[in-house]
């Protein structure tokens, strides 16, 4: 398998649930990213990991908790989300100092 | 703060040429990117400009003027499959801590027969 993969592709959860999104890249990159894409809003950067270290937390609420156990895997742990958190969550990876980011297919999250 | 503006929607005819503009006001500048995103799919990289001028890649070209805070994406010989959203993004500092991009809202291009 090549590129950037994300699971699950679709997720429906209640506000009291705890779930995790998973991202895996097979490109040998050292930087990984979480983005949120809501309807009619720009793509928003949430978190950046560079060589497994978090280098950016873009004022994201604590109900979103990222984890990067190694350079190939990235998780986004979700708990007590709100309906306005419903969006497409995209993972991306790149070489640490590269130009191009490669995006995964995204997880479509619906919070009821 | 960061501000990136691009038109919300554009319509063009198959075979024609279309130019999608992007203006930006950012605290720093270390490159401008264009991505294509088809409905329901992930964004894919199209082009990168860091110096002033035109970068050509097949039917797609991207231009940058740093003094004007302005870029455009030029699509030639439009095809129906070019119907997609085109995202302009700016990297505002050196990528030593990762490529942190700020995206515009995207321009939805509809190509008609």
How would residue A53 be classed by pLDDT, with cut points 50, 70 and 90? confident
pLDDT at residue A2, rounded to an integer: 63
Give the DSSP letter of residue A62.
T
3-state secondary structure chain B: CCEEECCCEEEEECCCCEEEEEEEECCCCCCEEEEEECCCCCCEEEEEECCCEEEEECCEEEEEECCCCEEEEEECCCCHHHCEEEEEEEECCCCECECCEEECCCEEEEEEC
Put simply, the answer to whether B99 touches A56 (Cβ < 8 Å) is: no
Chain segment A98-112, per-residue pLDDT in tens: 778 999 999 999 999
Contacts with A, B 15-34, CB within 8 Å: 31, 33
Residue of B nearest to A96 (CA): B98
Put simply, the answer to whether A103 touches B43 (Cβ < 8 Å) is: yes
Q: What is the DSSP string of A11-44?
A: EEE-TT-EEEEEEEE-S--SEEEEEEE-TTS--E
Put simply, the answer to whether B105 touches A41 (Cβ < 8 Å) is: yes
How would residue A90 be classed by pLDDT, with cut points 50, 70 and 90? very high
Partner residue opposite B42 with nearest CB, options A42, A50, A103: A103
Min Cα separation B102/chain A (Å): 7
Q: Over range A19-37, report the average pLDDT.
A: 95
Find chain B residues with C-beta within 8 A of A48's C-beta: 97-98, 100
Chain segment B63-99, per-residue pLDDT in tens: 999 999 999 999 999 999 999 999 999 997 766 656 7
Two structure tokens written together for A81: 């989300």
Pairwise pLDDT comparison (B17 vs B93), residue with the higher score: B17
Contacts with A, B 56-85, CB within 8 Å: none
Q: How far is CA A100 from CA A68, A74, A92, B99, in A?
A: 20, 18, 10, 8
Helix (H) or strand (E) holding A74: strand A73-79
């Amino acid at each position: 398998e090549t590129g950037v993969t994300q699971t699950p592709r679709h997720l429906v959860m209640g506000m009291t649930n705890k779930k995790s999104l998973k991202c895996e890249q097979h490109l040998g990159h050292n930087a990984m990213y979480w983005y949120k894409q809501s309807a009619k809003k720009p793509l928003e950067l949430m978190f950046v990991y560079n060589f497994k270290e978090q280098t950016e937390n873009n004022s994201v609420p604590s109900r979103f908790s990222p984890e990067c156990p190694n350079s190939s895997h990235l998780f986004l742990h979700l708990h007590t989300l709100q309906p306005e958190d419903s969006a497409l969550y995209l993972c991306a990876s790149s070489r640490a100092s590269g130009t191009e980011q490669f995006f995964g297919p995204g997880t479509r999250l619906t919070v009821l | 703060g960061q501000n990136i503006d691009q038109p919300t929607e554009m319509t063009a005819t198959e075979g024609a040429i279309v130019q999608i503009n992007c203006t930006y006001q950012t605290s720093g500048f270390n490159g401008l990117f264009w991505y294509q995103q088809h409905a329901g799919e992930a964004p894919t990289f199209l082009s990168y400009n860091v110096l002033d001028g035109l970068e050509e890649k097949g039917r797609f070209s991207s231009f940058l003027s740093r003094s004007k805070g302005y870029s455009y994406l030029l699509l030639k010989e439009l095809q129906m499959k070019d119907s997609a959203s085109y995202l302009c993004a700016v990297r505002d500092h050196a990528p030593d801590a990762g490529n942190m991009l700020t995206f515009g809202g995207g321009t939805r291009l509809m190509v008609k027969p």
